[in-house]
Structure 1
Amino acid sequence: MKRLLWSKIALGLLLGFLARLSFEILRSKSYSGSILHKRCSPCEDASKVRGVPCPFCGAKSVVSSNEKSRINEPYKPRGMYEITRWLYFDQSNLYDIIDGEPVVALVGGTYEETRAVTQVALEYINANEMLGKTWDLESLQDGYMRTDALRGTDYMLDLNVKSKEKYQSESVKTTLRVRMVHPFEPKKDSISLVSNKAMPDTRIHIFALASGTEESLERFVKRYTELRAKDDRLTLALFDGKGEFGDESGTLKPHLDELIRRYPTSEINYIDIPGDYSFLNALHQGVKRADDSIILTLKIDMHYGHELLQRCRMLTVLNRRVYFPTAFGQYDPEIIERGMPTGKPKNVNKMDITKFTGYWMRDTYDYACAHSGDLSQAIDKLLLSRSRATDDTLSHTDVGKSLYDLFLSENFDVISSVEPDLMRLFTKINCDMRFLPDGEYEHCLRSAAKMLGSKPAMSMVYLTEIAMRKL
């Protein structure tokens, strides 16, 4: 009886072992078959796999240990007002409130930055063989970035990618998310101490284009005499033909002669430029007459102060650095008052820098501060490149931008920032297409429209006029 019992137990154990062995063999054959024979890819989305979904499909995360070890933890806000906001961008635009606009185009440095980080993200994906394949970028679906004062610049990108396959029909499309951090440099590498004390009596030679009204000219010259330091000079460029917006620049000469006699010790002179308004020709003629000094280019409709002159002295370095201040453009004072929101006082100071009184002229590069030698060489190169071009027409609206780009290409340290001490005062512009070429006529209309007022103010004026008509 005992012998029969032990036989049953041994038989049961043997059958159990054989059943388990058979199960493992069948499971192994099923997994390898789904990959090899059913063409299942271990990297595809399970919903897109042809045949049986792969058991190995799933999310994969790769973190560089070296990078992670030297990246600081992000700043931890103590409340909602301390949160570092993410900026959202796509392939063409940046979405945020920038200069009062909810959407701005990706241009300049921002465009280059987003393209660079997108390419780095794709290279990182392929270097780590994400999901077992090599990928091509199809498009950027979503992009987010923020700058943390303790951590660096943080990026989060959703890339639409397509796998590289021998046959096009085998390619797989999917979306991969990449999180990257561009950390700040170590303190010992990112901080440098430079002794760059500017002498208080460094000469500044102001070169201004005289195109506008007699009132603007007199106001500008008077301001210069009030702020003039020892050895500072003012040179104005007068045009024999039309001014910037079709005005008669030459008619200012009698009034300028009177101002020179009024301020005999202020080092004021002018040069005659043949032909119509030309920013490049005026700069070329003016710089040739300048001595070894710092040149500040302005126009007679500008208002400036001591702080601008001091920053010109401090920021410009011979053969190394130039300064392009961004001026604040004043709106039409009448529109400022009429378009003021309900509940706000209308008699505001028109010289204050607020969203009601003006805007930063970020697309204007006509105001520059540089050493005369640096500016002279840049103008000569610009004239040389213009003479070699098949189309030798260079609009005066592009000269400042061309100089800016030229200094960048020459590896100058170009400082471009808003300048609170530089304001373009409002002057009425009359655009007459009879005296202006098509391109300059359009420039005149855009300039006149920008100087009128902000969009909310113009809307308020428009609605008020409609309401008054109904009454």
Structure 2
Amino acid sequence: MFKRWLMALVARVGLIVLTLCCCVLLLYLLACKPVSHGSQQSLPWAGSATSKERYMALLQEREDSHRHYINSLTKQIAQLKEALQERTQQLQESLDKAKIKGILPQGLESLHKTPTQSDLKEFFRSQLNQAEVNSGVKLPSEYALIPFDTFTLQSVYQLETGLTRHPAERPVRKDRRDELIGTVETALHVLNGPKHHTDNIRRKHTFSPSDFIQGLTRTERDRGSIYELTFKGDSPQDFTQLVLFRPFGPVMKVKSEIVNTQNIIINIIVPLSKRVDTFKQFIKNFREVCIQQDGRVHLTVVYFGRDQIDEVKAVLDQTTRETRFRSFTLIQLNEEFSRGRGLDVGARAWRRSQNILLFFCDVDIHFTADFLTSCRLNAEPGKRVYYPVLFSQYNPSIIYRNQTLLPSLQQQLVIRKESGFWRDFGFGMTCQYRSDFINIGGFDRSIKGWGLEDVHLYRKYLHSKLMVIRFPTRSLFHLWHEKSCADELPPDKYKMCMQTKAMSEASHSQLGELFSKQEIQVHAQKQMK
């Protein structure tokens, strides 16, 4: 009994002690709770306004901290870029100095190149492919063709004469001179360079400026400038041609090749009707240039009608007897004169297997041996036809009216604005291979008399893929002769004939002086009083 009471007492006392311990512990925890500081222990979803303000202040503080950190990183990046740029510049200067001294270590050549060099090369190559360099492009009309200018080390022969109206520019403007001389120097550097053998050219001597014969140049405004330079070769019949292209940047080498003209025969075709005296003058020039100097020509004369045919035969027979030159062909046509018809017959009359080079010529044309060379160099079968711009002589009786005697013909043939003009509106004189002439369809045989047949043929080539080479030629002259325009011509041809006649008499200043001759004399008499 006593044990049961004792155990119940112990249990009650233990429960009371446990309860007291719990109360003490709770009081201890409440006494040790940290003091609250602002909103650090407040919850965002607490409903009071004070809690929201504390939360927004906390966000602002963190945003300011991130902004300062970002500004610090940006400043460090800028400092690193500046240091890198400095080091890159120092390295580039060191490489430049090493390259100049020739001590650039092997394997560092690529470091010397700018990162965009491949892009520049690709762009320049695309410009070259689009330019009319290696092949012709189809053109809408004769006005779309860009003619070449001819230049030597001393002069530039150009169609665009500007305000000076000088057909030959002497001396050349400094900017143009620097451009052309720089191009010749670049060509000499290429020809004499160590890598020139890659074009299968065997050089026997070092090229110098004295080897430079002449150059052609023209600028395609959306592409660049093209230069075709001709140098002397190892023999009188060998020439070296170098084509350069400046795509609005450094000059690029296009090709370099030796052109051997020794076996290129030129068939000179002359349509003729009467005019025997003029023909005798032509034969005199032919003997001096073609027989005595060149020797690689054939002359085809297509004569219309029967009048004076015997005199023409006598001139040819006399030439054969005196020079032993027998490479003549005389074709007689008993029909009305037609220049296009005569040239067409003469071109098709060649029966040999060789693809002959044709030179369509008139009886009042004077040329030199240099022109025959130019004819051979600028025409290429299936690729190029040559349409030279000749220099047309003014009426000598007007030009030299103040002189007692007329100068000799050689003295008259000078390229000055007082003595003549570039006949840029004429397309009758041309060098082209017979195969190209046949393939293009030849002349329009329906055209009779004077004019237009050459323009129609010229337009055929412009519409084809052949390249038309056209530039002022300093070795080809049109001699002045009295021109009469037949009443039988249709209005358009008669107008063209009269325009040509007016332009061929004298320059504007000379015609103006003749027109005002009486006024000038009256003024001179007044001054003498």
TM-score range, shorter chain: 0.5 to 0.7
CA distance, structure 1, for counterparts of residue 367 and residue 396 of structure 2: 18
Out of 286, 295, 298, the residue aligned to residue 233 of structure 1 is: 298
1:427 and 2:462 equivalent? no
Q: TM-score, normalised by structure 1?
A: 0.53
Q: Which residue of 1 aligns with 2:366?
A: 303
Give the fraction of aligned pairs with identical amino acids, expressed as a percent.
19
Q: Which residue of 2 aligns with 1:202?
A: 264
Q: Which residue of 2 aligns with 1:449?
A: 502
Aligned-partner residue type, residue 333 of structure 1: P
Deviation at 1:403, TM superposition (A): 1.8
Aligned-partner residue type, residue 232 of structure 1: V
Cα deviation code 1:290-331 (max 9, x no counterpart) = 243111111010100000001111111111111111110000
Aligned-partner residue type, residue 396 of structure 2: P
1:280 and 2:340 equivalent? yes
Kindly indicate whether the alpha-carbon contact (under 8 Å) linking 1:201 and 1:230 is maintained by their aligned counterparts in 2.
no
Higher mean displacement: 327-336 or 218-227: 218-227
Give the 3-state SS of the residue equivalent to 1:446 in structure 2. Answer: helix
Aligned in 2, Cα 1:469/1:444: closer, same or farther, shift over 3 Å?
farther
1:251 and 2:307 equivalent? yes
Cα deviation code 1:221-250 (max 9, x no counterpart) = 12112222335211112222xxxxxxxxx5
Cα deviation code 1:36-90 (max 9, x no counterpart) = xxxxxxxxxxxxxxxxxxxxxxxxxxxxxx9xx9699xxxxxxxxxxxxxxxxxx
Aligned in 2, Cα 1:328/1:147: closer, same or farther, shift over 3 Å?
closer
Cα deviation code 1:392-443 (max 9, x no counterpart) = 657752222222221232211110111110000111123342x444333323
Q: Which residue of 2 aligns with 1:109?
A: none
Aligned in 2, Cα 1:212/1:279: closer, same or farther, shift over 3 Å?
same
Kindly indicate whether the alpha-carbon contact (under 8 Å) linking 1:205 and 1:234 is maintained by their aligned counterparts in 2.
yes
Aligned-partner residue type, residue 399 of structure 1: E
Q: Where does 1:360-379 land on structure 2 (aligned, <5 Å)?
A: 360-379=422-441
Q: Which residue of 1 aligns with 2:279?
A: 217
Aligned in 2, Cα 1:405/1:440: closer, same or farther, shift over 3 Å?
closer
Q: Which residue of 2 aligns with 1:459?
A: 512
Q: Between Structure 1 and Structure 2, which shows a larger proportion of strand residues?
A: 1
CA distance, structure 1, for counterparts of residue 161 and residue 310 of structure 2: 41
CA distance, structure 1, for counterparts of residue 358 and residue 385 of structure 2: 10
Aligned-partner residue type, residue 479 of structure 2: L
Deviation at 1:287, TM superposition (A): 1.0
CA distance, structure 2, for counterparts of residue 446 and residue 463 of structure 1: 21
CA distance, structure 2, for counterparts of residue 395 and residue 259 of structure 1: 25
Give the 3-state SS of the residue equivalent to 2:259 in structure 1. Answer: coil
CA distance, structure 1, for counterparts of residue 163 and residue 450 of structure 2: 27
CA distance, structure 2, for counterparts of residue 394 and residue 212 of structure 1: 17
CA distance, structure 2, for counterparts of residue 442 and residue 339 of structure 1: 32
Aligned-partner residue type, residue 430 of structure 2: A
Aligned in 2, Cα 1:194/1:411: closer, same or farther, shift over 3 Å?
farther
Aligned-partner residue type, residue 203 of structure 1: I
CA distance, structure 2, for counterparts of residue 272 and residue 347 of structure 1: 36
- Which ranges of structure 2 fall in alignment gaps of 5 or more residues? 1-115, 125-158, 166-217, 226-245
Kindly indicate whether the alpha-carbon contact (under 8 Å) linking 2:338 and 2:448 is maintained by their aligned counterparts in 1.
no
- Count residues in correspondence: 287
Aligned in 2, Cα 1:101/1:445: closer, same or farther, shift over 3 Å?
farther
Cα deviation code 1:327-380 (max 9, x no counterpart) = 10000012112489xxxxx97942110000000000100011011111222234
Deviation at 1:186, TM superposition (A): 6.3
Deviation at 1:211, TM superposition (A): 4.3
Deviation at 1:192, TM superposition (A): 1.4
CA distance, structure 1, for counterparts of residue 433 and residue 508 of structure 2: 39
Larger radius of gyration: 2
Out of 369, 377, 393, the residue aligned to residue 330 of structure 1 is: 393
Cα deviation code 1:84-124 (max 9, x no counterpart) = xxxxxxxxxxxxx9456799xxxxxxxxxxxxxxxxxxxxx
CA distance, structure 2, for counterparts of residue 453 and residue 327 of structure 1: 16
Kindly indicate whether the alpha-carbon contact (under 8 Å) linking 1:239 and 1:272 is maintained by their aligned counterparts in 2.
yes
Kindly indicate whether the alpha-carbon contact (under 8 Å) linking 1:206 and 1:297 is maintained by their aligned counterparts in 2.
yes
Q: Where does 1:129-208 land on structure 2 (aligned, <5 Å)?
A: 184=247, 190-208=252-270
Aligned in 2, Cα 1:215/1:393: closer, same or farther, shift over 3 Å?
closer
Q: In angstroms, what is the RMSD of aligned CA positions?
A: 3.8
Kindly indicate whether the alpha-carbon contact (under 8 Å) linking 1:316 and 1:370 is maintained by their aligned counterparts in 2.
yes
Give the 3-state SS of the residue equivalent to 1:317 in structure 2. Answer: coil
Greater relative contact order (Cα < 8 A, sep 6+)? 2
Aligned-partner residue type, residue 317 of structure 2: R
Aligned in 2, Cα 1:101/1:441: closer, same or farther, shift over 3 Å?
farther
Aligned in 2, Cα 1:377/1:339: closer, same or farther, shift over 3 Å?
farther
Aligned-partner residue type, residue 509 of structure 2: P
CA distance, structure 1, for counterparts of residue 407 and residue 346 of structure 2: 41
Kindly indicate whether the alpha-carbon contact (under 8 Å) linking 1:205 and 1:232 is maintained by their aligned counterparts in 2.
yes
CA distance, structure 1, for counterparts of residue 383 and residue 258 of structure 2: 12
Aligned-partner residue type, residue 287 of structure 1: A
Aligned in 2, Cα 1:98/1:313: closer, same or farther, shift over 3 Å?
closer
Kindly indicate whether the alpha-carbon contact (under 8 Å) linking 1:338 and 1:461 is maintained by their aligned counterparts in 2.
no
1:409 and 2:409 equivalent? no
Cα deviation code 1:121-156 (max 9, x no counterpart) = xxxxxxxxxxxxxxxxxxxxxxxxx9799x969xxx
CA distance, structure 1, for counterparts of residue 220 and residue 334 of structure 2: 54
Give the 3-state SS of the residue equivalent to 1:370 in structure 2. Answer: strand
CA distance, structure 1, for counterparts of residue 302 and residue 219 of structure 2: 45
Q: Which residue of 1 aligns with 2:82?
A: none
Kindly indicate whether the alpha-carbon contact (under 8 Å) linking 1:295 and 1:371 is maintained by their aligned counterparts in 2.
yes
- Which ranges of structure 1 fall in alignment gaps of 5 or more residues? 1-65, 73-96, 104-145, 154-182, 241-249, 341-345, 387-391
CA distance, structure 2, for counterparts of residue 317 and residue 268 of structure 1: 24
CA distance, structure 2, for counterparts of residue 446 and residue 212 of structure 1: 24
